[in-house]
Structure 1
Amino acid sequence: MSINTAREGHTYPSVDYQVGSEAIREFAVAVKNQHPSHHQAEAAQALGHRDIIAPPSFAVVVSQKAEAEVVKDPEVGIDFSRVVHADERFTHHSPITAGDNLTAATTLERIRIMGAGAMVTTSTEIHTEDGTRRATVTSSLLVRADDEEEN
């Protein structure tokens, strides 16, 4: 494994994501979130939203699309078959809402070499096309050494 620490601080091109009502409903069902605001527009509107809102962890759907750019970057040197997800933290700024056209940009915040492995931390800023911040997702991946380097 040769993770390139010189890529720390690099921000990748943004990815776009259009939030659909069905995607929110399906995600809410998958995470067993039954709050009506995730399923019915009327319930969300009663809370002051224009349409149904996504459960808080829905931001991972968007962030993972953007974070994939780091993993695919040959200059970083991550072998995805050697990756273990270590941590994920969300900072919510405003609810993700059906109909949002989101943009997500990931920055490779830190690469910490640990023995033969490395901890790779990214930060993804998610916002609407008009610049309204929706969420910041901080994710850490443990990249294990390959078998030859472990021995």
Structure 2
Amino acid sequence: MSVNPELVGRVFPPTDPYLVGREKVREFARAVFATDPQHTDPAAAQALGYADVVAPPTFAMVIQDLTLQQLLAEPESGIVLERTVHAEQRFRYTRPIVAGDELTGRLQVTGVRPFGKGAMVTSEAEVTDADGGHVVTATSVLLIGGEE
């Protein structure tokens, strides 16, 4: 089965709220070598005007992953995980993610472009806070290999 072109425009239900924890931010910062004190020290983050530690920009992938799992689990998508490569990633922030945020993601498939025997699937995850305010839009391109 090839990637279903009818995915374009599909919007998935919002994810369950994700509470951003201080230790998760610290762990993520260590994993991506984000050494600025604002990522690990609440006092340093507060000196910059934030309520708690600030997540590195790529932390949004934690929330986006929850949305992409919905897409990958869709039986009619034609997407086979074993033939999938994460090809591109972009973030457009309104504000940084801070420990204590409760975030929800909602995924929309914005493009399916045939590519050889496979396809490139573009999606956008809108991440909002508990008040419904926009935090970040995370855009991913998945390269899906075709069947032999």
**TM, length-normalised to structure 2:** 0.96
1:9 lines up with 2:9 in the alignment: yes
The match for 1:125 is: 126
Q: How many pairs does the alignment contain?
A: 147
Q: Distance in 2 between matches of 1:30 and 1:2?
A: 35
The match for 1:139 is: 140
Q: Distance in 1 between matches of 2:53 and 2:83?
A: 38
What's the CA shift string for 1:30-59, capped at 9, x where partnerless?
Answer: 011111111011111110111111011111
Q: Distance in 1 between matches of 2:42 and 2:116?
A: 51
For residues 1-150 of structure 1, the aligned pairs below 5 Å read 1-15=1-15, 16-147=17-148
Cα shift at 1:4: 1.1
> Aligned to 1:111, what secondary structure does the other structure show?
strand
Aligned residue identity for 1:96: I
Return structure 1 stretches of 4+ with deviation > 2 angstroms.
none
Q: Distance in 2 between matches of 1:12 and 1:74?
A: 13
Q: Distance in 1 between matches of 2:46 and 2:31?
A: 23
Unaligned runs of 5+ in 1: none
Unaligned runs of 5+ in 2: none
Q: Distance in 2 between matches of 1:78 and 1:14?
A: 20
Q: CA RMSD in A?
A: 0.9
Cα shift at 1:135: 0.7
Aligned residue identity for 1:42: A
> Aligned to 2:113, what secondary structure does the other structure show?
strand
Aligned residue identity for 2:13: P
Cα shift at 1:115: 2.4
Q: Distance in 1 between matches of 2:88 and 2:7?
A: 20
Aligned residue identity for 1:37: Q
**TM, length-normalised to structure 1:** 0.94
Q: Distance in 1 between matches of 2:20 and 2:135?
A: 12
